[in-house]
Structure 1
């Protein structure tokens, strides 16, 4: 009888411990799957959706500033010689600072008015399965633009052929976007670069052109 009692006591201890270890192993497996596969896929889905949303709003804000093509010429300063050839070209810092102020204000207003955009993604796609990517219940991934986190300009020359080149001015806008899903929430920095002005130059690259120093660009995000 004493042996049976000891065996029963051991069973009473071993069985719950075994169940606990099995449950813990399952929990670790699910946690690993979520951390290494599901969470990155949720972030990627949110990033793609956010990029589309932000780009659309940026294009609208820029188009509102440039009602006519001639308006973009106001961003450039040229100097020509007696033959009419461009000797120097640069972006107009004052005009650019005014532009990024207006674009930033419009974007901030649009972001403040925006509601969450929801994307439904099958659970099969989130776990990384190509075979079951369109199967299983859907998980709602919500995307919400928060704010403009930074703005910058860059310029470049692009060869167009013999004795012809293009001077281009781009605007780069960084936006903070929140991506939310069940048991997951992350803030992403979405960067968008848009061409806002260009000039065709005949006679090759000018003798000099000016890259706008970063310290001359107004940081409207801290206002």
Structure 2
């Protein structure tokens, strides 16, 4: 009896890391896909560059000030963070089944080996923030690129074991050519400080944004 327990213990020590490594890659891909889709869907509906980025010019067409509407940016970041959390929770409960051939990279055992059920749950915080880049696009032309970066932590769960990982995804949401001379002193974006964090709640909670 004792020898059987020791055998199972040693087998778990050998096999569990292999399963977790395979699950790590799969869950990162699924999490990244969920984040990417959530960001794009929300930005397609709620991000209009001209409504969020205010460009003030003088009579000669020179740019006096570029400023972001942080209230709208915060609302969008909040919606993305909360929706990502809810989608990740929903996906994590159902999980995925990984074939033995995928885990051990051996097609022969695909006819014999069972599939391993892998689940996942968000842990800690999901954070969204904006990244704003200005680059020259020619004489008196500036390319303004805005991306949203989402960072979340997830716990990968397999029978008798688990692993915590961080997933970070940066999604471009806008790229615009600004015509006019843009002096550095005119850029008052503060967009990098526009962030939102939401904490993971148990599965019986449904997160909703209260920002209007």
Query: Would the alpha carbon gap of residues 152 and 30 (structure 1) be closer, same or farther in structure 2, given more than 3 Å must change?
Result: same
Matched, 1:156 2:133: yes
1:46 offset after TM fit, Å? 1.5
- Paired with 1:102 and 1:23, the residues of 2 have a C-alpha distance of 49
Question: What SS does structure 1 have at the residue aligned with 2:74?
Answer: helix
For 1:120, the equivalent position in structure 2 comes to 97
- The count of corresponding residues between Structure 1 and Structure 2 is 197
- Paired with 2:9 and 2:91, the residues of 1 have a C-alpha distance of 37
- Paired with 2:171 and 2:165, the residues of 1 have a C-alpha distance of 19
Coordinate RMSD, CA, aligned: 3.7
Which TM-score applies when normalising by structure 2? 0.69
- Show structure 2 runs of 5+ residues with no match: 200-209
- Paired with 1:180 and 1:88, the residues of 2 have a C-alpha distance of 50
Higher CA-based Rg: 1
Structural mapping, 1:1-150, within 5 Å: 28=10, 31-35=13-17, 37-66=18-47, 71-108=48-85, 110=87, 116-127=93-104, 129=105, 132=108, 134=110, 136-145=113-122, 149-150=126-127
For 1:8, the equivalent position in structure 2 comes to none
1:207 offset after TM fit, Å? 1.0
Question: What SS does structure 1 have at the residue aligned with 2:42?
Answer: helix
For 2:183, the equivalent position in structure 1 comes to 207
1:200 offset after TM fit, Å? 0.8
Q: Is the CA contact (8 Å cut-off) linking 1:170 and 1:194 kept in structure 2?
A: yes
Question: What SS does structure 2 have at the residue aligned with 1:137?
Answer: coil
1:213 offset after TM fit, Å? 6.5
1:41 offset after TM fit, Å? 1.6
- Show structure 1 runs of 5+ residues with no match: 1-18
Q: Is the CA contact (8 Å cut-off) linking 1:172 and 1:193 kept in structure 2?
A: yes
Which TM-score applies when normalising by structure 1? 0.67
Query: Would the alpha carbon gap of residues 28 and 131 (structure 1) be closer, same or farther in structure 2, given more than 3 Å must change?
Result: same
- Paired with 2:169 and 2:8, the residues of 1 have a C-alpha distance of 41
For 1:3, the equivalent position in structure 2 comes to none
